[in-house]
Structure 1
Amino acid sequence: MHGLANLSPRQQLLAGNLPRRLLQLALGLFLYGFSIAMLVQAHLGLGPWSVLEQGLLRLLPLSFGQVVVLVGAVVLLLWIPLRQWPGLGTVANVLAVGPALDFGLWVLPEPESLGMRIAFMVAGVVLNGVATAVYIGSQLGPGPRDGLMTGLAARTGRSLRLLRTGIEVTVLAIGFVLGGTVGVGTVLYALGIGPLAQFFLRWVVVPLPDVRPLGEPEPTPS
């Protein structure tokens, strides 16, 4: 869909257009973290994983961004029994989103009026959709949470939609119990992020002229 290819980690690096893809990956991950900061400052509800991370923040002597890195690393470890291989983008996702979130919390003011909080919420969800499309479109590997879901689907035979719903409801419930913010922003995020990412993806997928199927030999020069 939209020119996305199913690549091994090695293919991701050898598929061509690497400088542009690395730049796009970095931009997408920065915008992703920054968009979460906008939702945090709006105080109107977060996405399921952010609710969990905000709940854990109450228990750990860490910044919000550091908790995001920690959760991403734990999720990545869960790839091991699933025999999933992370790409460069997967590892970068774990390491980069948290610092970008902390930067956003540092530079963004907390809006006081309800109108500004709503504006932050809507802008944060839209920007998160753009950022998701941008980093996925770099074709350098999925984020750790997406990879966990696709890995579970491959190993269990369950539908991706069922597993995604089950995982996100679980992390949302745990985060809510721990004190994470659930609200209208949570609903808006859940309903909007998929369609938004798909909508923007058509413009940001990097074409890969050198993609070859796994196991296919290099063409012999004529």
Structure 2
Amino acid sequence: MKNKKIVMRIIRLFVGLFIFAVGIVMTINANIGLQPWDVLHQGIAVNTNLTIGQASIGVGVLLLLVNFFLGERVGWGTIANILFIGTFMDLIMKNNMIPIGDNFFSGLIMASIGMFLLGLGSYFYLGSELGSGPRDGIMIGLTKRTKKPVSLIRNSIEASALAVGYLLGGFVGIGTVIMALTVGFFVAFAFKIFKFDVSKIQHRFIDEDIKWIKEQLKAKAKERAES
């Protein structure tokens, strides 16, 4: 039963990451402006040989290092978040699985669906309790260090990502403003539908698994010594 539970948590994690990636591509292909982080990812992509998904992975790795520096604990889901959302994004975009909006109205509908999918994806992967994404870790770590309101920290981080991405050539439009102001509502709406309480999540972290493995190895070594 325990192994089955672990498998189900992993399946839930990857279902969530894929849905999240679909949501991101929906907001990108809406063609009315990108979300702040995606402005940065696209800015990096247009100045390198990287795809936007690979740029997302690269930024995620850098943020993971900052998480370690801030003392934030990391789960296997955090690693999967970094590696697979970008991979799924490239897979979806390379195969043209989602059309590109050709006017503001269709783009707004696509962006709205995409933001809801971000909430739905978050519900699945956060609910696996295997660790949150590196961007959330940065927000939590800086909030602890600076003692500033979480809203100020989050807005400052996203504004910085937006500014750097814009300077690098990322696409900023009216949709960027709309999504920055409303994505929280769509995520909260998805959570409300599934009665998902983020405060009740109890993530399992990598250091806990390492500790468990060490304990198991010690126990087996002790058994061999006694026999």
TM-score range, shorter chain: 0.7 to 0.9
Name the structure where helix makes up a greater proportion of residues.
Answer: 2
- The question of whether the paired residues in 2 share the 8 Å contact of 1:138 and 1:205 is answered with no
Specify the code of the residue in structure 2 equivalent to 1:111.
G
CA distance in 2, matches of 1:181, 1:47: 9
Q: Which residue of 1 aligns with 2:221?
A: none
The whole-number CA distance in structure 1 between the counterparts of 2:131 and 2:48 is 29
CA contact (8 A) 2:77 2:130 kept: yes
User: In structure 2, do the counterparts of structure 1 residues 132 and 188 end up closer, same or farther at CA, with 3 Å as the change threshold?
Assistant: farther
C-alpha deviation, 1:192, in angstroms = 2.2
| Residue 153 (structure 2) aligns with | 163
What percentage of residue pairs aligned between the two structures are identical? 36
> What residue ranges of structure 2 are gaps of 5+ in the alignment?
209-227
Is the contact between residue 44 and residue 165 of structure 2 (CA under 8 Å) also seen in structure 1? yes
Q: Distance in 1 between matches of 2:196 and 2:75?
A: 17
Q: Displacement, 1:208? A: 8.0
CA spacing shift, 1:169–1:118, aligned 2, 3 Å: same
Please provide the CA RMSD for this pair: 2.5
Q: Which amino acid aligns with 1:57?
A: A
In the alignment, which of 24, 44, 48 is matched to residue 60 of structure 1?
Answer: 48
Q: 3-state DSSP class of the match of 2:129?
A: coil
- In structure 1, runs of 5+ residues without a counterpart are 1-13, 215-222
Corresponding pairs, count: 197
Query: Equivalents in 1 of 2:196, 2:11: separation in Å?
Result: 13
Deviation at 1:55, TM superposition (A): 0.7
Runs of 4+ aligned structure 1 residues displaced above 4 Å come to 204-209
1:69 aligns with 2:53: no
Aligned to 2:136: 146
Q: Match of 1:199, as an amino acid? A: F
Contact 1:34 1:104 in 2 (8 A): yes
Q: Give per-residue Cα distances to partners, 1:151-191, cap 9 Å, x unaligned.
A: 11112222211111111111111111211112232223222
TM-aligned CA deviation for residue 114 of structure 1: 4.0
Amino acid across the alignment from 2:117: L
Aligned residue among 57, 71, 80 for 2:68? 80
8 A Cα contact 2:31 2:101, kept in partner: no
